[in-house]
Amino acid sequence: MTQETTQPQTASSQQASASPTDDATLPLDATLRATIVRVWNHPHARRIRGTLLVAARAIRELWRMRMRFSYACYFIVFTVVTAASVTGLQWGMYTEPQYDDPDSVDATTRIQQSVAGQVTRFVSQMWLEQRYVWLLNFLILGLIYLLLTLLINRFWIATAAFGATMVVFAVANAIKVKLRNEPVIPADMSFISGGNSGDIMSFVPSDSLPLVHGAVGLLAWFVAGCVALQLLDGRNGFIPFSWRHPFRDPKTVACNCMRVFTLMLTATLFVSFTWNLGVSGSGAQQWSRRMGDAPQLWNAYGDAKNNGPAINFLRLAHTKAMDKPEGYNKDAMEQLAAKYAKQASQINRSRANQMTDGTVILLLSESFSDPNRVPGVSFSEDPMPYIRSVKAGTTSGLMLSPGYGGGTANIEYQALTGLSMANYDSSLSVAYQQLVPGQQWSPSFNQLWSETGGSSIAFHSFDRNMYFRDVNYRKFGFSTFWAKDGKNAMSGLHPIDSAWYSSDEATYANVLEHVNDADRQFIQVVTMQNHMPYNDWYRDNQFKDADTSENVSDAERTSIDTYAKGVNYTDQYTREFLAQLDRIDRPITVIYYGDHLPGIYATAASDPANSVTLHETDYFIWSNAASASRGAVQSASGYTSSNYFMAQAAEHMNAKVTPYLAFLTAMREAIPAIGPAGSGSGTDKPTYLDASGKVVAEEDLPAKAKRMLAEYRLIQYDMSVGKHYLKDTGFVEFG
């Protein structure tokens, strides 16, 4: 009985022990589970597990025991990296001189004028001349480095970020100086943030690619080294800090307070210095001048070269458009509006035509100018015979450009608005990027067509985001913007031979496709064919043999010959373009102008006496056969600046004017051409040319010109950053 009773129980318990405990949580069958258990409990497996556990514990102990780099080590690295950054940035400001006869220059002079010699002088002037600009740049960059370190709280990661930024900044400066005689400025950051970062490499000349590749390799090693050092450093934070338990103990509280305090103090010092560096009479400016800073706001390259690119960059970081002119108020602006409304009425009595009854094409030809006007440059064959003949038979002359080698957007801005860069503060370097995007009221001449039932369209044979054109053209009221990319893409764009940019022929073809879209329209055109660089793009370039220039280096000659061939192509395509417009039985007027000279004339640019010449481009105002103004020559043609173009076009067309155009007409009679500092005056003052093209200092202007210049500043302040008192007065509209 007992056995019968216990046997079923034993069998039952054996069955229970053999069955899985939870089939839902352990889906493996019994055989596989048993195999895993046997393998897991095998003596060899236990030995392996034990070995791995010991190794993990050893690694953990070694990780805990890794050394903490001392603050003395941090200080040495901080000093070396900052000093290298200052010196490296300055290196990018210089180029090796070219000598026509190297044997005529002694060894000492060659050493002093070399890049190494100039960098050495920049450093050594601290004790040779008691000018401490190297130290000033060191302190400012050190402040940025410290701010990054306190913000990230990991010394080696901050070092990697700072060092990488400095390498990129130095290389970008070196390339931009080589191409445009201009350092990197804050406005260039707007260029990148505006969606143009993908186009940057297209502007890098081929001979600068080794520099870029070398910098990339250096950055890779530098960042990898910093990451490795961060892993080896037992100090987790530069200053011990706890987010989760900020009040854990007195030491934690003290460290947290120290980090917050030093971060805020460093940030305050940096922001305060940057904000006030460009403000006259500020403490930051006075201190920097005691250190040897000598600002050249009219010449960014000269400023960066003499005072350091970091100081130049920060000087321009806080942009001030204009100081409020004396006497600016609502009554004053209404009086000016009434004054020029009366003058417009007087002018309009003698003018029979309406500008907006036909088509006006405002055509900016990239870098177009006559190379034969550059001192030392000449060709036995004329690169631009047709345009020269057009200039001889219509309103034409020379335009004073604000830029040399660049600055297209500013010249275009002046032509579209009638406002002058000379009236803005020197820290406003690119109006399209620093001013227009934030404006509430942006009057421009194309709006006259929209107000009178016409339309306005724009063409640019490059990316639409360049200089925020897409944004700015919408603010200006253009109905359509045709560009290389985007929804309204230009068709058939192609370069010539192996050149980079779209030909003028292709750009003109796109304009001709749309010139008949409306009887009354304003067309804004910006070409790209002759944009830098000039790397011997063209086959069968006859200007290589026709070049009779003197005292230019071989590299300079190659660029000049390539550029001359590009000008010759522009001359041919412009002839065909105007011939097509001549066949249209509708009045069309073209305002054609080059925006600036190319930055390829190093020899001529080395002589300050050539400054005005290197800021003068060619322009003409031409009307087709269907226009009443065909063959008209404006009585006061000659020297001008792009802010006057629309007023000149109105006179050329015998067309009625708005009060604003009446003012610009009178303004040009008083001062024929106006340019910002650096466009020929050789000082930090704006450049003013008289009717013969001679530079006149502001204090030497006639009394009437001084009065009108004061009115100009009032008008420009109100239209740019003031209270827009003129907006509802009809000042910019036809009565």
What number is the average pLDDT over the span 244-250?
71
Residue 477 φ/ψ region, left for φ over 0, alpha for ψ in the -120 to 50 degree band, beta for the rest:
left
Residue 7: pLDDT band (50, 70, 90) is very low
Residue 545 pLDDT exceeds 50: yes
Mean pLDDT lowest among 30-34, 362-366, 725-729: 30-34
266-270, 328-332, 437-441, 444-448: least confidently modelled range: 437-441
Single out the residue in 38, 61, 84 at which a domain terminates. 61
Does residue 20 register a pLDDT over 50? no
The β-bridge relationship of strands 521-526 and 359-365 is parallel
Contacts of 354 (CB under 8 A, 6+ apart): 452, 655, 656
198 shares a domain with 345: no
Q: For 497-539, write each residue's pLDDT tens digit.
A: 999 999 999 999 999 999 988 889 999 999 999 998 899 999 9
In a domain, 218, yes or no: yes
DSSP designation for 68:
P
3-state helix, strand, coil in the chain (%, to 5): 55, 10, 35
Alpha carbon 61 to its chain's center: 53
| Domain-embedded: residue 734 | no
| Domain co-membership, 651 together with 690 | yes
Least confident of 33-37, 203-207, 695-699: 203-207
State the average pLDDT for the chain: 87
471 is a domain residue? yes
Of 320, 323, 300, the C-alpha closest to 312 is 300
Helix axes 385-392, 554-582, angle to 10 degrees: 60
- Rounded to 10 deg, the angle between the 283-290 and 250-277 helix axes is 80
Report which DSSP code applies to 621: E
Segment 285-295 mean pLDDT = 90
Letter string b/e over residues 107-117, b meaning 16 or more CB atoms within 10 A of that residue's CB: eeeeeeeebeb
Count of domains forming the chain: 3
Tell me the C-alpha distance between 654 and 643, whole Å: 19
Contact 353, 653 (CB under 8 A): yes
Hey, what are 516's tokens? 């008949």
Q: Is residue 138 part of a domain?
A: yes
**Is residue 25, in this structure, part of any structural domain at all?**
no
**What is the band of 62 on the pLDDT scale with cuts at 50, 70, 90?**
low
- CA torsion 395-396-402-407 (nearest 10°) is 100
| Whether residue 586 sits in one domain with residue 489 | yes
CB 288 within 8 A of CB 277: yes
Whether the predicted pLDDT of 232 surpasses 60: yes
Q: Where are the beta strands (DSSP E) in 539-689?
A: 588-594, 616-623, 638-640, 673-675, 687-689
Cβ 561 vs Cβ 543: under 8 Å: yes
Do 200 and 103 reside in the same domain of the chain?
A: yes
Closest CA to 663 of 200, 377, 340: 340
pLDDT at 61 over 90: no
pLDDT of residue 22: 47
Range of the domain at 40: 30-61
Same-domain pairing of 470 and 559: yes
Stretch 137-143: mean pLDDT? 94
Weakest-pLDDT range from 287-301, 519-533, 602-616: 287-301
Q: What are the tens digits of pLDDT across the range 463-488?
A: 887 887 888 999 999 999 999 988 89
**Is the pLDDT assigned to residue 26 strictly greater than 90?**
no
Res 3 pLDDT > 70 = no
Instruction: Give the distance from CA 303 to its chain's centroid.
Output: 17
Q: Is residue 424 predicted with pLDDT exceeding 60?
A: yes
Q: With bands split at pLDDT 50, 70 and 90, how would you rate the model's confidence at 298?
A: low
pLDDT beyond 70 at 8 = no
**Co-location of 265 and 404 in the same domain:** no
382-399 tens-digit pLDDT: 999 999 999 999 999 999
Kindly report, residue by residue over 148-175, the tens digit of the pLDDT.
999 998 899 999 999 999 999 998 888 8
Residue 503 gets the label, from left (phi > 0), alpha (psi -120 to 50) or beta, of: beta
Q: Do 641 and 617 lie in a common domain?
A: yes
Give per-residue pLDDT as tens, 89-104.
Answer: 998 888 888 776 777 7
Same domain, 307 and 354: no
In a domain, residue 10? The reply is no
The pLDDT of residue 190 is: 59
The structure tokens listed for 566 are 């590009």
Q: Cis link prior to 246 (omega < 30° from 0)?
A: no
Query: Could you tell me if 342 and 735 are in contact, meaning their C-beta atoms sit under 8 angstroms apart?
Result: no
Helix (H, G, I), strand (E, B) or coil at 465: coil
CB count within 10 Å of CB 373 equals 15
The answer to whether residue 708 sits within a structural domain is yes
Q: Which long-range contacts (CB under 8 A, 24 or more apart) does 387-393 make?
A: 387/570, 387/571, 387/574, 387/592, 387/618, 387/620, 390/578, 390/620, 390/622, 391/618, 391/620, 393/631, 393/633
- Calculate mean pLDDT across residues 21-35: 62
Residues 332 and 615: beta-carbon distance below 8 Å: no
> Mean of the pLDDT values across residues 564-579?
97
Query: Is pLDDT at 194 greater than 60 in this prediction?
Result: no
Find the angle CA(303)-CA(305)-CA(308) to the nearest 5 degrees.
80
Confidence of residue 192 (pLDDT cuts 50, 70, 90): low
What is the b/e burial string over 226-243, where b = at least 16 CB atoms within 10 angstroms of the residue's CB?
beebbeebebeebbebee
Task: Point out the least confidently predicted range of 35-49, 162-176, 542-556, 711-725.
Answer: 35-49
Beta-strand pair 687-689/480-483 = unpaired
614 half-sphere exposure, CB direction, 13 A CA radius = 28
State which of 315, 341, 365 marks the end of a domain: 315
Among 27-36, 368-377, 393-402, 544-553, where is mean pLDDT lowest? Answer: 27-36
> Helices 645-652 and 659-670 meet at what angle, rounded to 10?
100
Q: Is residue 8 part of a domain?
A: no
Predicted confidence at residue 549, as pLDDT, reads 92
Q: What is the CATH number of the domain that holds 427?
A: 3.40.720.10
Mean pLDDT of the 624-629 span:
91
In this structure, the dihedral spanned by the alpha carbons of residues 303, 309, 314 and 319, taken in order and rounded to 10 degrees, is 50
Measured distance CA(474)–CA(525) in Å, rounded? 15
Is 233's pLDDT higher than 70?
yes
Selection from 634, 559, 566, 555 nearest residue 594 by Cα: 566
Q: Is residue 289 a contact partner of residue 683, using CB atoms and an 8 Å limit?
A: no
Q: How far apart are the first and last CA of the chain?
A: 127
pLDDT of residue 242: 67
The pLDDT, as a whole number, for residue 203 is: 61
Instruction: Map tokens 């793009």 to a residue.
Output: 537
Check whether residue 196 and residue 311 sit in a common domain. Answer: yes
Q: Which helix (H) or strand (E) holds 571?
A: helix 554-582
- Tell me what the mean pLDDT of segment 180-196 comes to: 67
Q: In the chain, what percentage of residues exceed pLDDT 90?
A: 56
Task: Give yes or no: residues 379 and 293 share one domain.
Answer: no
- Written as one letter, the residue type at 488 is N
Whether residue 645 has pLDDT greater than 60:
yes
Same domain, 106 and 52: no
Given 291, 315, 339, which residue is the final one in a domain?
A: 315
Buried b vs exposed e over 487-511: b needs ≥16 C-beta within 10 Å?
Answer: eeebeebeebeebebbbbbbbbbbb
One domain, residues 659 and 550: yes
Query: What pLDDT score does 485 carry?
Result: 87
